[in-house]
Chain A
Amino acid sequence: ELKVEQNPLFLSMQEGKNYTIYCNYSTTSDRLYWYRQDPGKSLESLFVLLSNGAVKQEGRLMASLDTKARLSTLHITAAVHDLSATYFCAVDIRTGNQFYFGTGTSLTVIP
């Protein structure tokens, strides 16, 4: 059974602090995606990671992928309130972009 697990599930942090969200998956894949979801909204694409060692950065967020460890990280630097949302990783294990989503991490940044 495929498992895509995120850690932590809930995260509350103060503005200006740093933290890392982890995404572990249980099967071979070299395509991993990070999405953001605001309450009541659909998903917004953040990062596409397509190979071992891939690192992408956008603003205060940086994502990396280690396919050997089956681990991706989403690092938050100097958090701001606008980053409050739920973050999902998703693994593509088949052709045709069929995604399996992680458990999600609900992030609250406190001013």
Chain B
Amino acid sequence: GAVVSQHPSWVICKSGTSVKIECRSLDFQATTMFWYRQFPKQSLMLMATSNEGSKATYEQGVEKDKFLINHASLTLSTLTVTSAHPEDSSFYICSAGRGGLSNQPQHFGDGTRLSIL
């Protein structure tokens, strides 16, 4: 079964709305989670690394004030898209690993499809 749960699966909202996406590790603790964005027919682009108890690390070109990340517990990271606009419409995917230099692959959530009207 799924080891990383993402919620919601699909959200449609009006321009200017803020949208929160949750990513939970279900049967393990994750000090680090990752957020990706995927545009149609394109690859996944790493947006940021979410660190439990500290600030997220953002990739170059990703606006930290636009994409707020909170990793308040070892099993939950949230991504809030603030004042979303149509260009923010995308497929957002989180991932978590079982820790450290693991020889296990990252576990990915099912993704959240965000559509901004």
Contact = CB atoms under 8 A, between A and B. Distances in A.
7 contacts: A35-B108, A42-B111, A43-B44, A96-B49, A97-B102, A99-B95, A104-B42
B74 interface: no
Interface residues of B, number: 27
A33 B104 CA distance: 10
Nearest to B104: A48
A96 B32 contact: yes
Given A42-B109, A43-B108, A98-B49, A88 B43 contact: yes
Nearest to B105: A45
Interface of B: 6, 32, 34, 36, 41-46, 49, 93, 95, 97, 100-111, 113
A33 B105 contact: yes
A24 B94 CA distance: 24
Nearest to B112: A42
Interface in A4-46: 33, 35, 40-43, 45
B87 to A, nearest CB: 21
Nearest to B101: A95
B46 A100 contact: yes
A68 B102 CA distance: 22
Given A41-B110, A43-B93, A95-B100, 15 more contacts: A33-B105, A33-B106, A40-B113, A42-B93, A42-B110, A43-B44, A45-B105, A45-B107, A97-B34, A98-B46, A99-B34, A99-B106, A101-B36, A101-B45, A104-B42
